[in-house]
Amino acid sequence: MKTAGDILIVDDESDIRLLIGATLRDEGFTTMEAASAMEARDLLAAKPPGLAILDIWMRDSDMDGLELLEWVKSVYPEVPVLMISGHGTVETAVQAIRNGAYDFIEKPFKEDRLLLMVQRAFEASRLERENAELRARVSEETDPAIIGVSTQIKAVRTAVERIAPTASRVLISGPNGSGKELAARCIHHQSERRDSRFIVANCARLGAERADVELFGSDGATTSRRIVGLFEQAHKGTLYFDEVCDLPLETQGKIVRAVAEQRFRRVGGNKEVTVDVRVISASSRDLSAALAEGHLREDLYYRLGVVPLSMPPLAERREDIPHLARHFVDLVARRTGLGRVKLGDEVLSAMQGYRWPGNVRQMLNTIENMLIMAPADRSEPLGLDLLPVEIQNISPAAGNSDIGALLALPLRDAREAFEKSYMTAQLQRFDGNVSQMAGFVGMERSALHRKLRSLEVTHGGKTSANEDGKT
């Protein structure tokens, strides 16, 4: 029989302990036994069990069973507890259950009943753990948050707070993996529609032959049964069009009317269906180019783009990377059950120097891979060896002078050589963006410009006097 850990048996009568222990071991359980509350606490402190069976009345013990129950629940609230007694009353049983016991068994009990209660307690404990994990996962979607301290992300959060309470349609732009859907979920969560559904329409997967049915549903003309489309599923909630430019042009024309009038006809149907749906759309394409190339209808663009919102690429907000990395460590640990890890400073520095073409999504995947491949002993911070090779090769100290050469210089010259190497490496790290570099090194932008000029530090052969690495 598969168990969730040892079973602790606490009873002052050795015969009872032996009987219960033998019965459970015959069924494949492993047991620990204690004759008093003190012995039980020592065993519990050394190793928490999967289940505890406590006698209520115990001679020569500093705690009775009810007091020990309270102690167990205060230290290990997740451990299920069965109470047993040969002198039980209804009041005692009620008190035990109020104090956190799973159930109460009166002596003498039959072996079948004991085993049934043990199995039920383990099952209830397992379901409780699974429910807790599901609640944690659901909270990630129902209580989304945009992580970061950069000026760009602060501006996005401010825009979301202003947009959310309105009924306006929103068109979110930004590169793949930059967090467009997260921003849409935040808008939904902070709106009056938060208690209704957030429905995602993956436009790239809506082929021309199925798009109308998927979005508007069917009354059975093309299928043998009625299909409820995404617009109806999102009634009173939010419908999110992911990569809206990938919608078939004919379907785009139908969406214009559905969005504007909030009504449509199912495929094969004659009856108008009225809905109340907020539409948020997103695209990683250049929308001006998509309009010019005919991939996006102009009338749909103006219907959807009432409020534009732009998500910056990760490379433009490098100061957010340490915060995102730690957030993703916690997120992946909750999702997968893997132990949390610490990220070393050199790992965070390499991450900040990398350009992240896949943006936040790529970073999340990288963190998940690191947790999976991390050693069993997670007491020490992870090193560069767990990063992908292309990120390992990013070295913030790439331009640093050799320490031996520095030691051969007078202090003033060594300090200047180090500063030049340090500033060169940081300017390379931030791809010539002086504003981002200033925030990281802790200097005012004008002071940093002066320092770079005095050290004759350039990026890619260009002077660094111009903003954002541009000449």
CATH number at residue 354: 1.10.8.60
Residue 422 has φ and ψ, to the nearest 5°, of -65, -45
Task: Examine the fold and report which residue of 312, 332, 361 is the final residue of a domain before the chain moves on.
Answer: 312
Q: Which residues contact 121 (CB under 8 A, 6 or more apart)?
A: 51, 80, 82, 102, 103
Of the candidates 50, 61, 118, the residue with the CA atom closest to the CA atom of residue 84: 118
Residues 231, 307 within the same domain: yes
| Amino acid at site 208 | A
Strand order in the sheet with 81-85: 31-34, 7-10, 51-55, 81-85, 103-106
Helices (H), 5-110: 14-26, 37-46, 65-75, 90-98
Residue 169 falls inside a structural domain: yes
Q: CA distances (Å), 344 to each of 219, 337, 386, 390, in order?
A: 58, 21, 11, 18
Please say whether the beta carbons of 352 and 323 come within 8 A: no
Q: Does residue 251 sit within a domain?
A: yes
Q: What angle do CA 103, 104, 109 make, to 5 degrees?
A: 125
Contact 34, 6 (CB under 8 A): no
This prediction's pTM: 0.61
Q: Structural domain tally of the chain?
A: 4
Q: Report which of 413, 226, 429 is spatially closest to residue 318, judged by C-alpha positions.
A: 429
Range of the domain at 212: 163-312
Cα 263 to the center of its chain, rounded Å: 36
The CATH number that applies at residue 455 is: 1.10.10.60
Q: Where residue 49 sits, what CATH number does that domain have?
A: 3.40.50.2300
Both 352 and 307 in one domain: the answer is no
* CA nearest neighbour of 184 among 304, 296, 314: 304
The pLDDT, as a whole number, for residue 134 is 63
Are both 259 and 362 inside the same structural domain? no
Question: DSSP letters along 196-247, please?
Answer: S-EEEEEGGG--TTTHHHHHH-B-SSSSSS-B--HHHHTTTSEEEEETGGGS
Handedness of CA 68, 72, 77, 78 (dihedral sign): negative
Same domain, 354 and 428: no
C-alpha distances (whole Å) from 3 to each of 22, 71, 76, 125, 309 are 16, 23, 18, 11, 52
- Given 274, 296, 312, the domain boundary residue is 312
Give Cα 91 to chain centroid, integer Å.
Answer: 45
In this structure, the answer to whether residues 122 and 176 fall within a common structural domain is: no
Upstream peptide bond of 108 is cis (omega within 30 degrees of 0):
yes
Tally of CA atoms within 13 A in the half-sphere of 104 that contains its CB: 21
| Token pair for 427 | 């300017």
* 436 domain residue, yes or no: yes
On whether residue 429 sits in a domain, the answer given is yes
Are 113 and 195 part of one and the same domain?
A: no
Give 76's contacts (C-beta < 8 A, 6+ positions apart).
44, 48
Do 167 and 253 lie in one domain? The reply is yes
State the Cα–Cα distance between residues 26 and 48, nearest whole angstrom.
Answer: 22
Task: Choose one of 359, 392, 425: the last residue of a domain.
Answer: 392
Looking at residue 215, its pLDDT comes to: 93
Flag whether 355 is in a domain: yes
Question: In this structure, is the dihedral angle defined by the CA atoms of residues 142, 166, 172 and 246, taken in order, positive or negative?
Answer: positive
**Quick check: is 149 in a domain?**
no
Q: Does 144 reside within a domain?
A: no
- Please indicate, yes or no, whether residues 289 and 332 belong to a single structural domain of this protein: no
186 with 102, same domain: the answer is no
**Same structural domain for residues 131 and 270?**
no
- Average pLDDT, consecutive stretches of 10 residues, N- to C-terminus, the chain (471 residues): 71 91 91 92 82 89 89 84 81 84 87 91 83 58 81 95 95 96 95 92 84 87 68 93 93 92 89 93 94 93 94 92 93 85 87 90 94 86 89 57 59 82 81 83 88 82 46 35
Decide the pairing of beta strands 7-10 and 31-34: parallel
Q: Are 71 and 82 within one domain?
A: yes
301/168 same-domain check = yes
152 is a domain residue:
no
Number of Cβ within 10 Å of residue 25's Cβ equals 12
